[in-house]
Each structure stands twice: as structure tokens, then as C-alpha cells.
Amino acid sequence: MHRFRQFIGGEFCDAADGRTFESFDPFRGTAWAEIPRGGAADVDRAVQAAHRAFTSGEWAQLTPSARGALLRKLGDLIARDAAKLAAIEVRDNGKLLAEMGAQLNYLPQWFYYFGGLADKVEGTVVPLDKKGFFNFTRREPLGVVAAITPWNSPLLLAGWKIAPALAAGCTVVLKPSEFTSASSLELAALFQEAGFPPGVFNVVTGFGAEVGSALVEHPLVRKITFTGSDVTGRAIAASAARNIKHVSLELGGKSPNIVFDDANLDDAVNGAVSGIFAATGQTCIAGSRLLLQSSIHDAFVDKLVALASTARMGDPMQPDTQVGPVTTRPQYDKVLRYIDIARGEGARLVLGGGPATCGDGWFVQPTIFADVRNDMRIAREEVFGPVLSIIRFEDEEDAVRIANDTAYGLGAGVWTRDLGRAFRMSERIQAGTVWVNTYRAVSYMSPFGGYKDSGLGRENGISAIEGYLQTKSVWINT
Ligand code: NAD
């Protein structure tokens, strides 16, 4: 059993009361790591350390250029250790090594990009309507940031928060998901090696109801940046409202992937399959509602089933595996429950439909339901697993209506060769990201976030740093 330790104030340590919990390998269904079970005392120590670093430590004295240089150095260390970090994540969450490897090879770019922005934050001189005053603005960091992450892409999603927060000059306490804590603790060692002053970056591990809620409620935390389920997001937003804290939320989705009859159908089939089955469907942007135009519906379903049924399940560490296990036992049970619900609602099963036997892991067959109506629960609620719902539409108007008839608004795909239609659809769909003739592309340069119940605020892109800054207006009587 591997043993990990928390990272608080620049030092690795056990939980204050010595408690631990186990982290599971979803491919084998067995515990592989022992993680400190932090509590309110650990959170308080970490937030105090972050607050000291923010207000009076070496970090507070660094020039923005020096902060940027540290972030770029961290990026280099992540690049050096990407393979090792990826192997830890695969062990913890069962995603394919190919996907995790690609994610973590890309992660350094966040630290290079936001490191490069650290010394480009500028205030303005305000052209006043009054004589005798000089008025300018300063852009200042918010303070201690609580970053709370889910289990599906632990380090990538942490990086989306940490890089802009530190570039802005904030300090961070990260609370990773209790299902996938190990890689964040490994990342902490790289912060130490890069030479970040103590307290700038801290990791407290444990459960949402213990560590997560203590962190969110801590009076010295000025901003909460959260990625996870909408249920937790609502609780966090309510707490932030009570305590007047800044908050950004990256929540769930029920993203429509819309195929028109003028699309390149081979590309669209590939996009539909990877849109839902990549990462075993456990991505917030999963294209979980496939909207097919009536004229191509039947032929498309045949092609789709033919392709999806060839997906090889197995050990996520093996390069030829295409679908890995579901990450957690509760998630496995939830996915199977939704398959039963869809059956009960009268959706027509055309592929899969149950557990898959593959070693001792938590495997679910890639599952496709046709004849889904958009008012069924399987079309409205986030399953977060390898389950696709196919919904038929007649024309553009119909497609827009169905696509937008959801509480969520994270991503959407449009497959068409008609340029005018591509523009019209991208304008009319209520989602933070619209992909045309592609699906699931993300970049550190391009804003990412949700419309409607999918969240508040944007990560990635130049504007992400704004989420960690506040503006001070300074008046000089001349
Ligand atoms: P979750 O909400 O159960 O947990 C997320 C994190 O919140 C974990 O670290 C958890 O310990 C913590 N937490 C739980 N209760 C808390 C509380 N009361 N106070 C503070 N923290 C608490 O989500 P999950 O199951 O880990 O992740 C899956 C969800 O995340 C899905 O809904 C998915 O769509 C969403 N997600 C969204 C994005 C995005 O960018 N929009 C990306 C990935 C995942």
C-alpha cells in the first residue's frame, strides 16, 4: 500500500488526528493507497499558512515577473514528471494511460501561459470629469483561494485553477476529490522542488463534508473555485453568498451533439463515439444527448452501433484498451441505475445495457439508447458514464429547441457542411462551448465554462486571471 501525506505550509504531514482513508484502484477494485483524512484543524492550518504567505511572506514581496518565472519552472517539472503523474492518475481513476498521458503532457502549458500573464496585469488611468484629482486603478490579488476538484481529471482541472490564481498573486489551498487525492500530493512535491515559498500552495485531503465544507466556510478564504456536481455547487454557492466570498463554479452537463444530414457522417460517427465513450463517459462535456436528423437517423444508428461495439475494454494501462472502468463504486452503481431507469422509461436499447466482466474492476458496457424523448430522465439528468441517448429531430428549429431544452449549458456539438448553419447554430445554442465538426477540444487559451446550471465564471484564456483579481481605485488630490 502506498502512503501519501498532506502538504501544508511547505511541509508534508499527516492529518492532525492521524486518521487516514483508502484510495481504490478501479481496474482491480482494491485499495492501493492510504491518504490522510484531514479535518477542520488541517484546513485551518493550511488556510493560515496560505494567508501568512499572501500577506507577509516572501511570496508577497516577489515581483510579478518572479512569480511568472516560478510558475514556468513548475511547468518544466510537471513536463519532466508527466509520465509518473499520469500513471498515478490511471491507478486512482482508471482513465486510459493514453488519455491521461496526453492530458498531463499538455498541463505544463497552463503554467507557461499564466506564468507569462503574471507581469501583464495592468491598471488604468481614469480620464476624470473633475479637475484637481488624479485617479488610477490597481489590479490586486483576491487573497487565499480554495480550489476544490472532482475525480475525473484531477490534475488538469486543478491546474486550470492554480495557474491563474498564482499568476494573479493569490495563494491556494487545494482539496482534491477523496477518490483521487494521490496525484495532487505528488504535485505538491514539485512545488517544493520549484522553490515556491511555504504556504503558497497547500493540499488538504479528505471528504467533502469534512475538509470541503470547512474550507469553504473558513473566514480567511476570499475565493472558492469549484469543479464538481451541481448539487455540491449549489451548497458551495449558498455558503459563498452567506459569507460574501467570490465563487466560480464549473458544474455538470447534458451536452447535445447534433448531426445534420449534410454532415460528413463518418466524422460525425467518430465524434459521437469519442464524445460519449472517451474517459468512459466521465467528463462534464460528454456528448450524452445525440440529436440525429430524421433523414439519416437509422443509417447513422447502424454505423454508430457498429463502431461502438468494437470498443476494447480492459486494463487502462495497456495501449490497446479503448474503454476503461468507471472510477468509483458509487458511480458504477449510479450508471447501472440510470440504465434501468432508461429501460423503464421505454427507451430502446441498441447496445450494451449492463455491467461488463473485465477482471475485478467496475466496468459498464458502452450503452446506447435510441427513441429517447427529451423529457425522459435519461435525457435530462447527468449520468456521468458510458451511456448515450439518441433523440430524433426534423429541422434546424427543432434541433435548437431540443438542444436548449435542458437545465445545463456546458458544451454542444454541431455536425454540418453548411457554413451558414454552423454560424446560426453556434449563435442559438445556449452553451459555454460550441464545437463545429469536432468535439471535446479544449485549450488553455480558450475560455471554458457553463451557461445556465452548468456554472458561473470562466476558466482558461486571458480573462481567467480576472477571476482572481480585484480592482482598487486610487484618488490623489493634486
Ligand atoms: P462532487 O460534487 O461530488 O465532488 C467534487 C468535490 O467537491 C470533491 O472534492 C468533494 O470532496 C467536494 N465536496 C463534496 N461536498 C462538499 C461540500 N459540502 N463542501 C465542499 N466541498 C465538497 O463531484 P464529483 O462526483 O467528484 O465530480 C463529478 C461532477 O463534476 C460531475 O457532475 C461533472 O459534470 C462535474 N465536472 C465538471 C467539470 C467542468 O469543468 N464543468 C469538469 C469535471 C467534472
What burial letters (b/e) apply to 288-326, b meaning 16+ CB within 10 Å?
bbbbbbeebbeebbebbbebbeebebbbbbeeebbbbbb
Instruction: Identify the band that residue 358 occupies on the pLDDT scale cut at 50, 70 and 90.
Output: confident
How much is the pLDDT for 113? 98
Phi, psi of 3 (to 5 degrees): -115, 125
Ligand 1 atom 13: the closest Cα is on which residue? 208
For residue 459, which atom of ligand 1 is closest to its CA? 40
Mean pLDDT of 87-92: 96
Mutation to probe ligand 1, out of 227, 230, 460 (largest number of atoms < 8 A from CB): 227
| Sequence-ordered list of residues with C-beta below 8 angstroms from that of 39, at least 6 positions apart, any chain | 15, 16, 17, 19, 206, 210, 211, 214
How much is the pLDDT for 96? 95
End-to-end CA distance of the chain: 68
For residue 178, which atom of ligand 1 is closest to its CA? 11
Give the cell for residue 432: 459555454
Exposed / middle / buried, residue 69 (Cβ in 10 Å: 0-12, 13-18, 19+)? middle
Mean pLDDT of 412-436: 98
Per the CB < 8 A criterion, the answer to whether 163 and 71 are in contact is yes
How much is the pLDDT for 357? 87
| Marked catalytic residue, from 250, 394, 396, 427 | 250
Mutation to probe ligand 1, out of 93, 155, 284 (largest number of atoms < 8 A from CB): 284
The pLDDT tens digits for 98-130 are 999 999 999 999 999 999 999 999 999 999 999
For residue 284, which atom of ligand 1 is closest to its CA? 34
Is 250 a residue of the active site? yes
Instruction: Identify the band that residue 394 occupies on the pLDDT scale cut at 50, 70 and 90.
Output: very high
DSSP state of 358: B
Per DSSP bridges, beta strands 30-36 and 2-3 are parallel
Phi, psi of 429 (to 5 degrees): -80, 130
Instruction: For residue 229, report the distance from its CA to the centre of ligand 1, in Å.
Output: 4
Quick check: 287 pLDDT over 90?
Answer: yes
The pLDDT tens digits for 302-354 are 999 999 999 999 999 999 999 999 999 999 999 999 999 999 999 999 999 99
Instruction: For residue 378, report the distance from its CA to the centre of ligand 1, in Å.
Output: 20
Percent share of the chain, pLDDT over 90: 99
| Sequence-ordered list of residues with C-beta below 8 angstroms from that of 353, at least 6 positions apart, any chain | 339, 343, 365, 367
Alpha-carbon span 382 to 334, nearest angstrom: 10
Ligand 1 atom 31: the closest Cα is on which residue? 229
Ligand 1 atom 21: the closest Cα is on which residue? 212
Per DSSP bridges, beta strands 6-8 and 11-13 are antiparallel
Q: Work out the mean pLDDT of the chain and round it to a whole number.
A: 97
The pLDDT tens digits for 139-151 are 999 999 999 999 9
Mean pLDDT of 27-32: 94
In the structure, which protein residues have their CB atom closer than 6 angstroms to any atom of ligand 1? 148-152, 157, 175, 177-178, 207-209, 212-213, 216, 227-229, 232, 235-236, 250-253, 284, 382, 384, 410, 450, 455
How much is the pLDDT for 1? 87
Give the cell for residue 474: 486610487
Quick check: 138 pLDDT over 90?
Answer: yes
Question: How far, in whole angstroms, is CA 281 from its chain's centroid?
Answer: 13
Map residue 356 onto helix, strand or coil: strand
Ligand 1 atom 9: the closest Cα is on which residue? 177
How much is the pLDDT for 261? 98
Alpha-carbon span 404 to 82, nearest angstrom: 38
The pLDDT tens digits for 162-200 are 999 999 999 999 999 999 999 999 999 999 999 999 999
Residue with cell 472517451: 278
Give the cell for residue 264: 460528413
Q: What is the ipTM of this complex?
A: 0.96
Instruction: For residue 231, report the distance from its CA to the centre of ligand 1, in Å.
Output: 8
Edge-to-edge strand ranges of the sheet holding 30-36: 2-3, 30-36, 20-25
Mutation to probe ligand 1, out of 232, 284, 326, 460 (largest number of atoms < 8 A from CB): 232
Alpha-carbon span 232 to 209, nearest angstrom: 10
For residue 253, which atom of ligand 1 is closest to its CA? 34
Predicted model pTM: 0.97
